[in-house]
């Protein structure tokens, strides 16, 4: 996944943890998709003057909700239950970093939100790849391979808009800083049956 430029790959043994509790990973995954849709709508709400961004993030939000539905369908088909929304400590750490680094103007706030979003999509994409290549469940292996491609597209969308609207900001430098920060954060994860856990 060199295109994502993540500094620390997920240990494939994480999948062994996931396989012990499929209901938990599917519940967590479903809520990740719902939160991703909500995040896209929040970006639209705060930056509605950018027509191209609104159009593309509307499409992205619809796709995330479609993914939520697909995960929910798998849960139902397997006789499992969608549990309550899960707290995502990994995303919360990224969120605090985003808030700390937005300098108070709207351009900075937009760029930080887009890089925050790109980071989550990049790691989700990488986790889906690890799942697709290592899980023994054939249906889920195919499912996560398909979603991996979609997440890569979302990552690209967010990075592209950060570069387009980050006037006066060295977006490449900020992205490198995000990658370094995420490397430190992710070292504490990979031991729970959740997408980012």
Rounded to 10 deg, the angle between the 89-101 and 171-186 helix axes is: 150
pLDDT at 2: 59
In a domain, 1, yes or no: no
In a domain, 148, yes or no: yes
In a domain, 193, yes or no: no
CATH of residue 147: 1.20.1260.10
Question: In angstroms, rounded to a whole number, what is the distance separating the alpha carbons of residues 122 and 23?
Answer: 24
Q: What is the domain range of residue 155? A: 15-187
In a domain, 162, yes or no: yes
In a domain, 86, yes or no: yes
Mean pLDDT to the nearest integer, 66-81: 98
With 80 as the cut, is the pLDDT of residue 108 above it? Answer: yes
With 90 as the cut, is the pLDDT of residue 1 above it? Answer: no
In a domain, 23, yes or no: yes
CA 166 to chain centre: 21
Number of domains in the chain: 1
In a domain, 113, yes or no: yes
Averaged pLDDT of the chain: 95
In a domain, 7, yes or no: no
Per-residue pLDDT reduced to its tens digit, 48-59: 999 999 999 999
pLDDT at 102: 86
What percent of the chain is modeled with pLDDT above 70?
98
Mean pLDDT to the nearest integer, 158-183: 97
List Cα–Cα distances, 143 to 97, 107, 116, in angstroms. Answer: 31, 37, 25
Tokens of 2: 């060199």
């Amino acid at each position: 996944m060199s295109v994502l430029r993540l500094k620390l790959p997920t240990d494939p043994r994480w999948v062994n943890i996931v396989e012990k509790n499929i209901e938990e990973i599917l519940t967590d995954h479903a809520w990740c998709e719902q939160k991703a849709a909500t995040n896209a709508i929040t970006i639209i709400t705060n930056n509605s003057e950018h027509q191209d961004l609104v159009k593309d993030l509307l499409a992205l939000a619809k796709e995330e909700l479609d993914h939520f539905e697909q995960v929910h369908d798998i849960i139902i088909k397997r006789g499992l239950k969608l549990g309550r929304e899960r707290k995502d400590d990994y995303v919360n750490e990224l969120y605090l970093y985003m808030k700390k680094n937005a300098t108070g103007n709207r351009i900075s706030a937009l760029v930080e939100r887009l890089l925050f979003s790109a980071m989550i999509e990049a790691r989700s994409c990488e986790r889906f790849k690890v799942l697709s290549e290592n899980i023994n469940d054939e249906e889920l292996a195919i499912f996560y391979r398909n979603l991996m491609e979609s997440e890569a597209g979302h990552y690209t969308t967010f990075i592209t808009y950060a570069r387009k609207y980050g006037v006066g900001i060295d977006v490449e430098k900020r992205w490198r800083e995000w990658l370094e920060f995420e490397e430190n954060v992710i070292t504490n994860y990979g031991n729970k049956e959740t997408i980012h856990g």
